A and B are shown apart, each in its own frame.
Chain A
Amino acid sequence: MIKAILIFNNHGKPRLSKFYEHYSEDTEQQIIRETFHLVSKRDENVCNFLEGGILIGGSDNKLIYRHYATLYFVFCVDSSESELGILDLIQVFVETLDKCFENVCELDLIFHVDKVHNILGEMVMGGMVLETNMNEIITQVDSQNKMEKSEYPVTAQGFIPRASCSKLAGLMLKEPLLSVSYVWPSVIPVTFEQLSSHIYIN
C-alpha cells in the first residue's frame, strides 16, 4: 500500500500532498516537514530509500523518493510494495506530467495542483497502484479534459502551455517567487536514454 504521496520543492514548500490515511491538517503539515527534513539532507548520489519518519508509521514504512530539478517526489509505502517498482512508478508519473504539461516545470504544479491530482488519480487509487501504462493514463486524462471543455469552456482552460507559464512568471517579476532563477529548468533533468539505466521494471 502507498500511504502518502508528497511533492515539495527544494525548500519544503508542498506542491501536492495526497494522504491515503486520514491525518489532521496539522499532522499532515508536520509529516511534510519531517519528510522534507529527512529527504533534503541526503546527497544527490545516494540511494533513494529511507525509513519513514516517526509520524507516518516509523520503520514499517519506507520513503521512496526521486529528486527532479527543484522538486522532490516522495512516496511513503509499506512493505507490500516493491521498492524498485515504486521508483519506476514515480518515473512514470513524472513522464506523464511531462506529456500532459508539455515540458513540465515546478510552475505547472504550483498553478495546476488540481490537474496534477486528476492525473495522479488515474495512476494510484486509495493507495493502490491503478495503472502503470503511461499511454492509457494520458488517454483517460485527455478524454476527461475534453469532456470538461465541452461542458464548460470558461474554466476549463486545459493546461496552460509552457509559454504562458513563463509569461506568468514574467508578470510576477516584481517579487522573487522562488529562489531559483526565472529560467525554469525542466523538471526532467536528463534525457530518457540516460534514464533508462535507472528503469527497473522492464
Chain B
Amino acid sequence: MALKIVKGSIDRMFDKNLQDLVRGIRNHKEDEAKYISTCIDEIKSELKQDNIAVKANAVCKLTYLQMLGYDVSWAAFNIVEVMSSSKFTFKRIGYLAASQCFHEGTDVIMLTTNQIRKDLSSPNQYDTGVALTGLSCFVTPDLARDLANDIMTLMSHTKPYIRKKAVLIMYKVFLKYPESLRPAFPRLKEKLEDPDPGVQSAAVNVICELARRNPKNYLSLAPLFFKLMTSSTNNWVLIKIIKLFGALTPLEPRLGKKLIEPLTNLIHSTSAMSLLYECVNTVIAVLISLSSGMPNHSASIQLCVQKLRILIEDSDQNLKYLGLLAMSKILKTHPKSVQSHKDLILQCLDDKDESIRLRALDLLYGMVSKKNLMEIVKKLMLHVDKAEGTTYRDELLTKIIDICSQSNYQYITNFEWYISILVELTRLEGTRHGHLIASQMLDVAIRVKAIRGFAVAQMATLLDNAHLLTGNTQRNGICEVLYAAAWICGEFSEHLEDPKQTLEAMLRPKVATLPGHIQAVYVQNAAKLFATVLRNQEGAPEAAQETSQLMIERLPLFVQSANLEVQERASCILQLVKYIQKLQQKDVEVAEEVTALFAGELNPVAPKAQKKVPIPDGLDLDAWINEPPSESESEDEKPKAVFAREEPKHTRTRHTEVDEKELAKRREARKQEQANNPFYIKASPSSQKVYQDAPGVEHIPVVQIDLSVPLKVPGLPLSDQYVKMEEERRQKDNDKKKKEKKRKRDKRGRGKHADSGPESEEDITPAQQVDIMTEEMPENALPSDDDDKDPNDPHKALDIDLDKPLADSEQLVARTHRSAEVLKSPGGDGDGETITPEPKKKTRKDKKEKKKVKDKERTRSAEDKKNKKKHKHDPEEEEAKIEEAITLVNAEEAQPAAAADLDFWLTTDAAPSSAQEAVAATIPEVPIEAEPSEVKEAEPEEMKSKHKKKKPKKEKEEMEREKKKKKKRHHHHRSDREETESVQNGTMEEEEEEPLPPMSNYCLLAENDYIKMIKQEKDKVYDIQGNLQDGSQVVVSIIFQNKSSSVLKSMEFNVLDSLNSKLERPEGATPHDALTVPFQLPPDVSNEARFVFAVQSIVMPQKLKGTLTFIVKSDDSATHEKLDFKLHFTCTSYLITTPCYSDAYAKLLESGDLKSSSLKLEGVTMPFHHSLARICFHHHFSVVERVDSCASMYSRSIQGHHVCLLVKTADETVSIDAKCDELMLLENVLDEIKQTFSQS
C-alpha cells in the first residue's frame, strides 16, 4: 500500500499538469487535435488511479479542454470524486469542473446531494463558499428542493462571506424550485437590512431579479426599497433599486409621484454617470406611467432631456450611445421636448460608430413631423448614397420606409414625393429589401386613390427601364419592385398614357430571366393591359389585331417557362387571345367583353381581417357536418373529399332581397362599428380634415396637381424638387395667412402683437388632396387576442403572491426556521398553532397554483416521487374541501390586506423619510375586522381627553386637522381593484357601471407628540375549526409610527380586559401584565405589530381601553411616556365574507330558523352597485344574486351565525330586510350599516 502511494507520487512527477498541457498544445499547432486526443488518453488513465491528487490534476486539465470545445461529460463521475475530496485544493478543482460542464441532464448530479450538503455545513467557510459557487452553476430542480433548507440556514450564517453567497444562490433555487420562494422570502427580505453591505447588495440583487419578472408581487416592498434608496450610498445597490423602481412604476403611478423628488435630487447631486443615467431612465419610466399631468412634469422632462444632451455631446462614445437610447424612450411620450434637439441627433448620423448611427436613426423615426419629414428623409437619402456597408445602407432604407409609412402615412403631405423617393431607392443595388419597396408601392397605389395616375406613370418608366434592374436578377433583391410595377400598371392601366408601349415592355424576352413569381404577375397584367389597349383601339380594328398578334407572338415564351404558375397563366391567356383574334377577324367588337374580364375594383383588406371573421352563432367548426364516416367507408370516400369538397353555401344569398332602407341602416351601423373598432384603420387626421364627411368612396375628390410648376428640374434628383415645391407652397400659404391676419389686425386696429413664429403642425395643409382608403375588416370583427407570454418562461413559475400568508404545507422540508422577531402569541397551549408563524390556512387557489407549478417542474422526476408527494398533501386537501367556502374568500382577501399597507405608504406623502414603514414579522394572523367609521367617530372624544392633560389647545386642533386630512386621503386613494373584487364574489352583472369610489380600512387609533398608532383592519384569516368551541380569536394589527426625532423603546402594550374580550398573554402572565412590543422605533420609522384577542360573545360591539407605555430616548435624556387608546370591536368585524350559492341561500331562508329585522336608508344618492360595494367592503358581505335594483347578500359570523340581507332600492331609498339566527347581532350589524351610510 505504502509502495503504491510512493509510486503514485513518483508517477505524478512525470504527469503533465495544466501548464504542461497548455504548453504542449501550443507546441503542436499543426496536429493539435491529435495531440489533444493523446492527452485525453493520458487523462483517462490518470483518472483510473487511486491517488486523488492525480485525479484532480486530470480533472483540472479536462476543464481546460472543455473550454476549447471538447466534451468531457464522460468524466462526470470522476469530477464528483474530486469534489468530494476532503482537501480544499482538490475540492475547488472539482467544483470548478462541475460548474463548467454539469447541467440538468447530467445524471451523476444526483449523487452529489449529500456531498454538497456536507460542504455547505463545513466549518471551513471556503468549503462552503466553493460549494455555493459551484452549485449556482449546476443547480437542478432536485438539488434545489433537497438543499433549499440548508441554503436558507446559511442566509443567517455568522460570516458575511457565506451570507452573501447564500442569498445570491437563492435566486437560482427559486428558479428551479418555485415552492421555496414563499417560505424563504421573509428571510430574504430581512437581508435587505443586513449590516454587511455585500449581503445587502446581494439581497437587493436577488429581489430585483425576481421583481423584474413579476413586478406586481413586489409592489409591497416599495417602501422598504424607498428607504434603502434614500439611505444607501453604494452606487451598485442604488442602481439596482432605481432600475427596480423603473419596473414597478408602471403598475403604481402613485409610486412614481413619490419617486420624482428623490430621483431629481440624485440627478442633481451624483457625479457617477452610471447612476445619473439610471435615474434619468427611471424618471422617464415614471413620466410615462403618469399619464395625467403633474405640475412639475415638464420641469422633470426638461431636466432629463438636458442631462441626456450632455451625455450625447460627451466625447465618450458609451455615454453618447446610452444618451441616445434613453432619449428614444422620452420620445415616445414627449416627442416635443426631443424634437428641439434634432440638430444633435442629425449630427449623430455622421458618427463613425455604427451603433450610434443606428440609435440616431431610431430616434429620427419618432421625431418626424409633417413639417420636417421631407428634410429628414432628404438627409437620410444623402446618407444612403454615402453608406458603404450594405448592412447599414439596408438599415437606412428600411428606416426611411418606416419613417414615411408610420402611423398610416400620417406625416406624408405629398405622396408624389413619396413615390419618387421609392423610385429613387430602387437605384440601390444589392439591397435585400426590394420587397419592402415593392409592398410600399403597392400599398400607396392601392390606398391613395389620388396618386394612382402619378404612380402608374412612374411604374411604367420603371418597367421600361427594366433592363437596368435585371442585370443580376437572382442576387439582386431589387427586382422585386418590378412585381409591384407590373401589377400597378396592369391594375390601373386606365391611367397609362401609352398602354401599348408598356405592354410591349412587359413582354420583352428579357423578362424571362426574372424570378417566377414576378413573371407570373407580368403575364397576368399583360392580359389586363391588353384589355385596356383593345378598349383604346376601339374603332381601329387593324391596330387591335396588331396588338393581339403581339400577344400571340410573345406569350409562347412564357408558356415554355419552367415555373408552373407562369406556364399555366400564359397558356390560359394565350388561348384566350387566340380566340379573341378569331373574333376580331370576323369583325366582332370584343373590347368591351375583354375588359369585363377584369372589371371591378380590388379593395385593400386589413391583414388581420380573415382572422377576425366571427364564427356565427350555432356554428361549431369542430362538429362533423355529416355523420363521421365509418372505417370501411372512409377508404372509398377519401379521394372524393380531396377533389369534390363542396363549398358551403354562402349565407349572403339570403341578403339579396334586402331593401334599400335596410341597406342604409346597415351601412350606418357598420360605420358606427368601425368607429368603435380599434383595429379598423382610420384615415389619417390630415385626410380626415380634408374629407370630413365624404359620403362614400365614389365621392372622393381627386388630386389636383399644380401643373404650372415644371415637373422636371434639371440637375436635381426627382424627389428634391418636391422639397423645393413644398417649401414654396408653404411659403405661399404662410404669406396668404399672414396677409389675412394682417387684414384682421388692421380691422381691429392696433391689436396685440401677434407673433408669427414657426408654423405649427396644424398650419401645414397637404399639398395634394390625398385620401388613405381604409382597409376592409369583416363586420363584427372579433377583438384581437394577441400576445401571450411564452409558456416556457421559467420565471412564470415564480409569479407567486408573496403577501399571502404561508401555509403549513409550503414549509420547506426538514427543519423549519423561525425568524427572530416573531411575536410570541400567547394563545392557549403555546405550541402548534402559536409557534408556527404561518396560520393553518391553505387557500384553494393557492393549492391549484402549486399543483400546476409542481406538475410543470416535476415532469422529469420519477413517478413514485410524485405519488409520495401526493400522499403528503392528502390530509390537507381534505381539510381544504371542508373549508372550501371560507378559504375561497381568504384567497381573495389576502391580497387587499397587503395592498392596504402599500396604499397607506403611498398616500402619506409628507416627508418621504417619515413614511417609511417596515412590515412586521409574520405571526399567526386571525385579524380583527374593525369598522373604521365607528372608530373615527369615537376618536375625537378620546383625543380630547388625552390632550387636555398634555397639550395646549392650539396643538390639539392642529392634530385633529391633520387627522382629518389623513382620513380623507385614505378614502381617496384606495385602489378600485379591491372593491370590485369584493363585489365580484357575488353575481355582479357586466353592465357598464360607474367606477366605485375608493374605500379604506385604516383608522387612526391614537397619537401624541411622539407616536401615532394606526389600527389596520386586517382582513380575516380565520380558522373556524380551532375556535368554534372555546370562543373566538381576533387579531388586531397596529402600525406604530414614530413622529419624533428620538428613538422610542421599551414599548409596552396593555389593554384592560373586559369579561367578554381578553388580550391573549403569554402563559403564566396575569391579566394585568402588558405585552412588550417586539421592536424599537428609530426616528421617522413605523412598524407593525399584531395582537391577539379572545372574544366570548360576538353579538354586541365591544370597546376596550388600553395604554401604550414607552421610553423616549434622546441623546442626553430618556423619558417615560404613555398614550391611551380605545379599541373598538364592531359586530361587523366578526363577520367573514363567505360566498353562498343561491340554492343554499334559498334553503337557508326557507328553514325558518332565522329571525328577521329591517332597515330603511333614506336619501341614498349613490348608485346601487356602490351601495352594494360598500356593504360588501365595510361589512364583509358577499352578493348572492342581483337582479336589477334588488340584491341578496350573505355573510357569516366567526361563530357560525348566518346573516342574510335582501337589499332593495327605489328612488334614493335603500331598504334592507335582514335575517339572522341571532337577533342581537343582526340589529347591531344593521346599526353599523346605517352608520356607514350616514357618513357618506
Interface residues in chain A, defined as those with a beta carbon under 8 Å from any beta carbon in chain B: 1, 14, 16-18, 20, 22, 24-26, 28-29, 43, 45-50, 80, 82-85, 87-88, 110-111, 113-114, 117-118, 121, 125-133, 136, 140, 143-144, 147-148, 151-152, 154-156, 168, 172, 175, 177, 197-198, 200-202
Contact = CB atoms under 8 A, between A and B. Distances in A.
Nearest to B72: A25
B22 A110 contact: yes
Going nearest first, the 6 A-B pairs with the smallest beta carbon separation are A126-B136, A84-B274, A47-B317, A22-B103, A46-B353, A200-B274
Nearest to B138: A22
Given A128-B205, A131-B198, A177-B26, A140 B53 contact: no
A147 B128 CA distance: 14
Contacts of A154: 53
B236 A111 contact: no
Interface string B1032-1054: 00000000000000000000000
A201 B272 contact: yes
Interface stretch (B84-92, B480-488, B811-819, B925-933): B84-92
A126 B168 contact: yes
Nearest to B95: A121
Q: Which of A84, A87, A132, A172 has the most chain B CB atoms closer than 10 A to its own CB?
A: A84
Contacts of B129: 140
Nearest to A113: B64
Contacts of B317: 45-48
B235 interface: yes
Contact of B29 (A114, A133, A175, A202): A175
B282 to A, nearest CB: 11
B1129 interface: no
Interface in B233-291: 235-236, 239-240, 243, 272-275, 277-278
B1056 interface: no
29 contacts: A25-B69, A45-B317, A45-B353, A47-B321, A50-B355, A82-B240, A82-B274, A87-B318, A114-B96, A118-B92, A118-B96, A121-B96, A121-B133, A125-B133, A125-B169, A126-B137, A126-B172, A128-B168, A130-B168, A148-B92, A151-B89, A152-B53, A152-B87, A154-B53, A155-B53, A168-B19, A200-B273, A200-B318, A201-B275
Q: Which of A16, A82, A152, A155 has the most chain B CB atoms closer than 10 A to its own CB?
A: A82
B1009 interface: no
Given A25-B66, A49-B318, A151-B89, A80 B355 contact: no
A148 to B, nearest CB: 5
B706 interface: no
A155 B243 contact: no
B505 interface: no
A87 B317 CA distance: 13
Nearest to A175: B27
Interface stretch (B206-214, B467-475, B833-841, B846-854): B206-214
Interface of B: 17-19, 22-23, 26-27, 29, 53, 56-57, 60, 63-64, 66-71, 87-89, 92-93, 96, 100, 103-104, 124, 126, 129-130, 132-133, 136-137, 161, 164-165, 168-169, 171-172, 198, 201-202, 205-206, 208-209, 212, 235-236, 239-240, 243, 272-275, 277-278, 316-318, 320-322, 352-356
Contacts of A48: 317-318
A171 B56 CA distance: 27
A121 to B, nearest CB: 5
B interface SS class: helix
Contacts of B240: 82
Nearest to B73: A25
A151 B165 CA distance: 24
Nearest to A79: B212
Contacts of A132: 201, 236
B87 A151 contact: yes
B616 to A, nearest CB: 42
Contacts of B19: 111, 168
A92 B831 CA distance: 52
A197 B317 CA distance: 12
B972 to A, nearest CB: 35
Contact of A84 (B64, B277, B320): B277
Nearest to A147: B88
A111 B273 contact: no
B69 A1 contact: no
B89 A136 contact: no
A168 B124 CA distance: 35
A46 B352 contact: yes
Contact of A47 (B202, B209, B355): B355
Contacts of B87: 151-152
Contacts of A29: 69
Contacts of B56: 155
Contacts of B168: 125-126, 128, 130
A121 B165 CA distance: 10
A32 to B, nearest CB: 9
B683 to A, nearest CB: 34
A114 B239 CA distance: 31
B17 A155 contact: yes
Contact of A114 (B53, B63, B103, B202): B63
A46 B316 CA distance: 9
B221 to A, nearest CB: 16
Given A20-B137, A85-B236, A151-B89, 11 more contacts: A14-B67, A117-B63, A125-B168, A130-B202, A140-B161, A152-B87, A155-B17, A156-B89, A175-B26, A177-B26, A200-B273
Given A49-B321, A130-B202, A200-B273, A147 B126 contact: yes
Given A83-B318, A88-B274, A202 B165 contact: no
A43 B22 contact: no
A81 B356 CA distance: 20
B352 A84 contact: no
A129 B205 contact: yes
A35 B887 CA distance: 53
Contacts of B29: 175
A140 B164 CA distance: 13
A193 B17 CA distance: 39
Nearest to B13: A154
Contacts of B104: 22
Given A29-B69, A84-B277, A128 B96 contact: no
B317 to A, nearest CB: 4
B705 to A, nearest CB: 43
A144 B126 contact: yes
A14 B274 contact: no
B107 to A, nearest CB: 14
Contact of A1 (B96, B209, B320): B209
Given A49-B355, A121-B133, A155-B17, A128 B274 contact: no
Contact of A43 (B60, B272, B353): B353
A117 to B, nearest CB: 6
A85 B274 contact: yes
A39 to B, nearest CB: 12
A113 B25 CA distance: 15
Contacts of B354: 46
A117 B137 CA distance: 13
A43 B321 CA distance: 15
A130 B356 CA distance: 31
A26 B53 CA distance: 30
A154 B53 CA distance: 10
Contacts of B355: 46-47, 49-50
B26 A172 contact: yes
B428 to A, nearest CB: 23
A184 to B, nearest CB: 15
B164 A111 contact: no
A54 B876 CA distance: 48
A26 B73 CA distance: 13
Nearest to A27: B69
Nearest to B65: A25
A18 B96 CA distance: 10
Contacts of A113: 18, 63-64, 67
Contact of B165 (A125, A136, A148): A125
